[in-house]
Amino acid sequence: GAGVSQSPSNKVTEKGKDVELRCDPISGHTALYWYRQSLGQGLEFLIYFQGNSAPDKSGLPSDRFSAERTGGSVSTLTIQRTQQEDSAVYLCASSPNAGAVGYTFGSGTRLTVV
Amino acid sequence: GQSLEQPSEVTAVEGAIVQINCTYQTSGFYGLSWYQQHDGGAPTFLSYNALDGLEETGRFSSFLSRSDSYGYLLLQELQMKDSASYFCAVTRAAGNKLTFGGGTRVLVKP
């Protein structure tokens, strides 16, 4: 596609429920990144996929968080047993390859856990 | 560990010049990037410095001093539309992910 597409744009869920967030990167981009941004804060790295290499999961805050990337394209970030502190905007970005300068970000998914 | 420090907020009037400083402490350094984010919007890439010196792109310029672990973003001829948050971000190694600072909120007044 022309840009990075994320869905849903907004998600309200009850504490303890599981949620899935989807990211559709720019076609042909081999690198895909997930970040989290709390209100008024910077971007916190979560996970990074590059081609067929093992993902860099070093930013995932707990084992309730997981992500996969199927066929080197679409990625899904799953949060199990959501907690109120998980409320944030989840941003996905892609770049042509791992060494490329400049990520293209999607508009994010605003997750609210009530 | 690693840290990036930038001012939390800057206010200026239209037509003025604003400099946003970023100091970093990282284990490994490859390059410094700058992103702009309007409220409710996606971050957008502005500039990148891997070598010491000034990079100019229109009204925006970015500077890097590797020896001082310091960079800045210079916004010239400020316009109302420049009101946004600006983030510096470090790449620690080739092909590595970005680590972002906390952001600087720039408010442009008439």
Query: What pLDDT, on the 0 to 100 scale, is given for residue A31?
Result: 94
A1 has pLDDT over 70: no
Contact assessment for residue B46 and residue A105, using Cβ atoms and an 8 Å cutoff:
no
Contact B95 A108 (CB under 8 A): no
Name residues whose C-beta falls within 8 Å of residue A106's C-beta, 6 or more positions apart in sequence: A3, A4, A5, A6, A23, A91, A92, A93, B42
In this predicted model, what pLDDT tens digit does every residue of B22-63 receive, in sequence order?
999 988 899 999 999 999 999 999 999 999 999 998 999 999
Query: What pLDDT, on the 0 to 100 scale, is given for residue B1?
Result: 65
Considering only CB atoms, B101 lies closest to which of A33, A42, A91, namely A42
A73 has pLDDT over 60: yes
**For chain A, what percent of residues have pLDDT higher than 90?**
84
Average pLDDT over residues A65-88: 95
Average pLDDT, chain B: 95
Interface-testing mutation among B97, B105, B106, with chain A (most A C-beta atoms within 10 A): B97
| Closest CA in chain A for residue B45 | A102
For A111, the 3-state DSSP assignment is: strand
Query: What pLDDT, on the 0 to 100 scale, is given for residue B78?
Result: 98
Interface-testing mutation among A43, A44, A90, A94, with chain B (most B C-beta atoms within 10 A): A43
